[in-house]
Structure 1
Amino acid sequence: MNAEQKARIESNRQRALEKLKNRGIIRDDQAKKIESRNAPRPEPTPLRLPEIQKVIENRTKAQKLFAHHQQNLRDASLSANPSIELDRESSRKRPLDKIRPTVRKEDYIEYDLATMKNSHGGFINVDEVPDGPDSKKQQTFEEWQKAQQERRALYEEAQPPEHPSLAPKCIECSINTELDPLLHDVFKLQVCKACVKTHPEKFSLLTKTECKEDYFLTDPELNDDALFYRFEKPNPHSGTFARMQLFVRCQVEAFSYKKWGGEEGLDGEWQRREEGRAQRREKKYKDKMKEMRIKTRAQEYTRKLLDRKHGKEHVHDFSAAIDGGVNEEGIHMVKRRCIGCGLESQEIAL
């Protein structure tokens, strides 16, 4: 910026200040402050020789303190991990091969997240509890291979019948010979896979809880091997829970109809249990109401005894405020008196 530009800027600033003062936006003292702020600053005076020597001494002291602090940090890291010194000597030959941060590792707790297992109660390293002797967690690789070979021999490599007419057919459609292996081997039902999907009202699997709630069967009946076939599998909620038992619907339904006398008898049992449940709810409600009434009567009787002994509870009815004079601190007070008992109260007049 040359001298002409500086002079033009200064003249523009002066005209702007004059306009502000003429309009009454700023006062004369404010204009003087603005002019003093925009005035050119004087050149700094050069330092003398004693002052320069003092600056140099302070800079030397600061460098020594910084070097001493760095040495203390290195000594602390060496005492925590002595192998750092060996690494440092080897890094002088090849500095980019072994570069380690000077971290005091004993101040930290290291967790190997790759070895942690989710126990659904926080990530805790606990040994898994096996489900039983047939659990996959206890099987070796050879046992697993043997189980797979047996499964293939049972389901995939089974010998075909001598003639197609001799092959077992589905009892539902009497056409397909490809039977569902689970229903055939566990529940002894000759049903094809297509019929299992088409008729879920007959061949769907029920849990033990559903059998007890929907068909009103008891635990001894469901645990009897002579009455029901069952398929057991690990509990999906937790491996430590009891194994889940599955029953086929048609077998459970047939036994339930035989027990309760057909579909009408099962519906009647459901109606009877619902009425009994409603009666129990009503009885519980009445008992609670009776208990509440007894408690209320007891509280009323206790209140009457207290009123007879001490009299009824008095509610003050204060009169209008009158002048109470001035207290020790010089504050004006007013007085009120209860019309019934004569109790007086003093209040500060606001």
Structure 2
Amino acid sequence: MGKMNDEQKARIEANRKRALERLKKRGILKDNELKQIEKRNEPPKKASGEVATSAPHRSLVTESQASSGVPSGLTSSETSKVDESKKRPLERIKPSIRTKDYIEYDFSTMKNLHGGYINPEDRPAAFDDEDVMGSKRQKTLDEWKREQQERRYIYENAPPPEHISKAPKCVECGINIEMDPVMDDVFKLRVCKSCVKKIPEKYSLLTKTECKEDYFLTESELMDDTIFHKLEKPNPHSGTFARMQLFVRCEVEAFAFKKWEDEEGLDAEWHRREEGKSQRREKKYQKELLRMRMKTRAQEFTTKIKERKHGKAHEHDFSAAMEGGTDEDGHKLLRRRCIECGLETEEVVL
């Protein structure tokens, strides 16, 4: 960085004086504080030339020593100490952050990434319109309004037919013309709400787990949109779990009967799998029983080896009970003695 010229120095000095005057007018600075600041900001006085010493290596006075008024007879370390002591208080304060930890941001090169959700750099090259911001085309206000009108047309504001007899009716009762919106919109079934409640064995909703366990359908079959319509809802157990997927029973049963040929075929598959489960349970039971028998035989063999090496373990043969007085609490005691080894035991009669 280049040195400042006289004009810049004069401008800085004038700004500093004006700032001090404003602080003085407001009463923030007192006269003694103002004098201290003026004295601290005075430029250091230059000392006249010093006489050279007799030593040849100290024959000249350095320019820095002459400008700061430091005696010429001091060494370099002493000179640095003197310079440090003559510095103003603000010059002795070290920065609180290291230079390598400082990061300078150039705001002119920054880009607005819209919170990271819509990145203009990720948009495909095929779309160069102004309304395309990300990998998906953004909806305009007119498109959103049109979509809302279509949904309102489906649920609420469908225009009435020319005649009431030409209105679509429920396929079950053949009377109601107001359809269940979920069955009509999601599952494409023209059924009224009352019939959905009256016929749960046909229009009730099943979870994915129930479809797998009761109708033996696979994950790939349930996820095929060409086979099943499904309704997604938040998981009732936790909001962080995967969304719950519901299927209508009539669609699931129709596909399951087609897969297993008919209803009897589905029952036969259920019996076959139940028999397989019972066989696996029996096999596991026999395996555990064999392991327990092997363990018991090993224990018997180990006991025989111990008896052969150390002799048979002694079994006590106690005599009849005899009175042994009373204990500290006054309870009656009975004594027994082993006939062979003489071991005595005491029993408390309560």
State TM-score, norm by structure 2.
0.48
